[in-house]
Amino acid sequence: MTVEHRTPVPVTLLLAEPAAVVAETDASDAAKLFKALADPLRIRLVSLIRHSPGGEACFCDLAEEFDMPQPTLSHHLRVLVSAGILTRERRGTWSWYSLVPEPLETLQALLRAGGPLVDRIAPVDGSERARRC
């Protein structure tokens, strides 16, 4: 009895449709969000606010978490509010901050598997490449 030996062939499955290229305005909006989050302190602020009771946090509570001057913390919160990541509501003498979910959902859509920034590289046709270069 003869046993046939076969060489395994790798198979790649594409489980999702290729994502579209990001439009110029969407890229600009996403860049503003990435820029606002491009600081470890701001990422921590978003996390603290997100996990605060009721999904909101008072400035006084946030200030206790950071060893820095009040104007510096206010600046970081203002950047996040300006980017649309947080909302600010004045209650008496204190400001309360809440997370706006849509901006983070936008970034999640860009970075998820199958999204425009994580999707596979399109195959290159050698003849087309020669014409472009």
Q: What is the enclosing helix (H) or strand (E) of 115?
A: none
pTM higher than the cut 0.75: no
Confidence band for 56, pLDDT divided at 50, 70 and 90: very high
Query: Cβ(41)–Cβ(76) under 8 Å?
Result: yes
* pLDDT at res. 121: 64
* 88-133 pLDDT per residue, tens: 999 999 999 999 999 989 888 888 877 777 766 666 665 555 555 5
* 8-50 pLDDT per residue, tens: 656 555 454 555 777 888 889 999 999 999 999 999 999 999 9
Structural tokens at position 120: 């596979």
**Residue type for 39, please?**
D
Structural tokens at position 51: 């996990």
Query: How far out from the chain centre does Cα 110 lie?
Result: 7
Q: CA torsion sign, 11 to 16 to 20 to 25?
A: negative
Q: At CA 59, angle to CA 36 and CA 82, rounded to 5? A: 30
